Chain A
Amino acid sequence: QQPVQSPQAVILREGEDAVINCSSSKALYSVHWYRQKHGEAPVFLMILLKGGEQKGHDKISASFNEKKQQSSLYLTASQLSYSGTYFCGTLYTGNQFYFGTGTSLTVIP
């Protein structure tokens, strides 16, 4: 029942834009986004709350469509440092947190 992300993998050239999608089969009340570089721990990027409030990164934006149970992460003018695996995550029942399936992003010069 984990959220499903698309695409699974994407390769970009520096300066290009990317969109990563996160879809849930259950109602979403908030969505987290994290980035994980190879061999490291996930790092928080952004949280989107019901009602439109966002907290997090100043160079990455995201949207949250509660009706469609979807969230999208927008990476503009990508930099080499954006490479990594991106995970969305959400709370379902109680305090059970589920991470999404992940999207591998590679930025090349």
Chain B
Amino acid sequence: NAGVTQTPKFRILKIGQSMTLQCTQDMNHNYMYWYRQDPGMGLKLIYYSVGAGITDKGEVPNGYNVSRSTTEDFPLRLELAAPSQTSVYFCASSYGTSSSYEQYFGPGTRLTVT
């Protein structure tokens, strides 16, 4: 199993541009998450999904959108990129709710907005 894969690994955006960060998992996990991690800081939840067609906001959703049309894929869309969105973005998945199940992380996407 590849686990959780993310593309691209690195990206530089100009202010106002848009992009989609891709996330795919091959573990048949129902739950998927997007986090951002600013330099030297902890991870903050952007959006999560408990299954195909179901998404909900996390702690820091402003400036982002998500969709979940299949169990495997959970893309994150950045609209009108701003310097404050410079961060490392991690996608994660878990078999079930985090009250009982661990999360598996992808390698991350390092995004710089200038």
Q: Give the interface of A toward B (CB within 8 A).
A: 2, 29-30, 32, 34, 40-44, 47, 49, 55-56, 87, 89, 91, 94-102
Q: Which stretch of B14-22, B62-70, B72-80, B92-100 is in the interface?
A: B92-100
Contact of B90 among A2, A41, A47, A96 (CB under 8 A): A41
5 more A-B residue pairs beyond the given contacts A97-B103, A100-B42, with a C-beta to C-beta distance below 8 A: A29-B99, A40-B107, A47-B101, A96-B58, A97-B33
Query: Residues 21-45 of chain B: 1 if any A CB is under 8 Å from the residue's CB, otherwise 0?
Result: 0000000000101010000011111
In this complex, the interface size class of chain B, counting residues with CB under 8 Å from chain A, is 20 to 34
Is B97's CB under 8 angstroms from A95's CB?
Answer: yes
Q: Which residues of A contact B99 (CB under 8 A)?
A: 29-30, 49, 91
> Measured between alpha carbons, how far is A2 from B50 in the docked complex, in Å?
21
CB proximity of A97 to chain B, nearest CB, Å: 5
The residues of B that contact A101 with a CB separation of less than 8 Å are 42
Verify A87–B97 contact, CB threshold 8 A.
Answer: no
A41-B108, A95-B31, A96-B59 as given contacts; A87 in contact with B43, CB under 8 Å: yes
The CA of A91 and the CA of B98, in the complex, are separated in Å by 7
